[in-house]
Amino acid sequence: MPLNIPQTNQKKVIIIGAGFGGLQLAQSLAGDSDFQVVLIDKNNYHQFQPLFYQVATAGLEPSAISFPLRLAFHNHPNVHVRVASVTKIMTESNTIETDLGELQYDYLVMAIGADTNFFGNKNIQEKALPMKSVGEALGLRNRLLENFEKALVSDNQEDRVGLMNVVVVGGGPTGVEVSGTLAEMKIHVLPKDYPELDFDLMQIHIIESGAELLGPMSKNAQIKSKEYLEQLGVNVRLSTRVTDFDGKYVYINDGTTIRTNNLVWAAGVKANTIEGINPEVLVRGGRMKVNRYNQVEGYENIFALGDVAFMTEDKYPNGHPQVAQPAIQQGKLLAKNLRKLIRGNTLTEFFYKDLGSMATVGRNLAVVDLPFWRFQGFFAWLTWMFVHLIAIVGVKNRLLIFINWLWNYVTYDQSLRLIIRAKSPKS
């Protein structure tokens, strides 16, 4: 059998991607005797993207924000998890091609998420540090810590400054959160680890091409986040664009440069794609045009969820925000619509319910925009922590994160500053 999936009379739903949308759909269909669900992902775990930055800054271990996929489907024999890469979709024969073999589907769901957008700059792509996976977050942590070790033994002042300085590009939640965390580490943690280094030399910059931080959020959130970062000593540069990076200097569009070996790139995303989908359905950022039932334009049995789906509503003429909630809500509704589809019932249109947005800047500092209330400061910080704890998959992960956060708060320290390099066994 291709990929060793048993043959049944159930409708076969193949879900590519175990992010927020794909996992939600699979969980919603788990135990439904009408469907055989095949969940395919390159990893055998679900990743909680909103906390990647805490892995990158040594606040959390990767395992705390990752959840084994198979554990989510114990006692659900209709769900089959396969770790594979999908290389092509043959829409004429309703077949997908993977690196493990081919598999036919009745319904195909693309939930493949988005990757870092470097806007065509090859130097930045090769030398900057992105943060769109647990692996990349761990790589960023290793690089920063390795550079502090190098700074410790460098006898050249300029090199030492370059190894310590950090430039973060992108003023969205990820950029703001990683900048604030690094600034707090500079104040409370790193001087104790490296007493021989002069941390007055270390500069943290956040560069945003727009006129404000946290563009989609309220004016108060934008103003407060900038104030909070500046209180922590971060250099905030708005309406500024990075044009190049050679590994030692960041080049700015106003002709200036910043000496740093550490460029963290959080400046944009582009949807992942798979060969076989008609390129005419792709719009800006590589997203696929879908109708209000998440059906990809031109296909009756292919659907797209979350970051890769471009769906317009009156309130969202440019598509939904590429965050977790649209994907989760679309996954829930698609499960209901698939049931209606096989019974010949009328499908339900998707309406996005905006539950709000939030970002944390540092200890006791956060901004929260809820549909009915906007607030900042300590209570916003508590709200941010509570919402993220509830959203994490797995009781054990929630407990681990809570203990880490409590320890960090009481001791002003993170205990996870480990440089862990992967080593593959010789074949």
Among all residues, which ones are annotated catalytic? 177
Give the other-Cβ count within 10 Å of 279's Cβ. 9
Of 307, 277, 273, 310, nearest to 291 (Cα)? 310
Q: Could you give phi then psi for residue 261, rounded to 5 degrees?
A: -95, -5
Q: Which two tokens stand for residue 321?
A: 């925000």
Distance CA 34, CA 8 (A): 10
Beta-bridged to residue 236, according to DSSP, are: 206
Strands 11-16 and 114-116: unpaired
C-alpha distances out from residue 335 to 94, 295, 349, 355, Å:
20, 13, 13, 21
CB under 8 A, 24+ apart: contacts of 40-43: 40/14, 40/15, 40/16, 40/81, 40/82, 40/83, 40/84, 40/86, 40/98, 41/16, 41/17, 41/69, 41/81, 41/83, 42/83, 42/84, 42/85, 43/18, 43/83
The structure tokens 């390129």 sit at: 279
Residue 275, judged by CB atoms within 10 A of its CB (0-12, 13-18, 19+), counts as exposed
Distance CA 229, CA 328 (A): 31
Q: Is 6 helix (H, G, I), strand (E, B) or coil?
A: coil
Which sign, positive or negative, has the C-alpha torsion 81, 353, 362, 211? positive
Which sign, positive or negative, has the C-alpha torsion 6, 11, 12, 13? negative
Task: Report the alpha-carbon angle 15-135-357, nearest 5.
Answer: 70
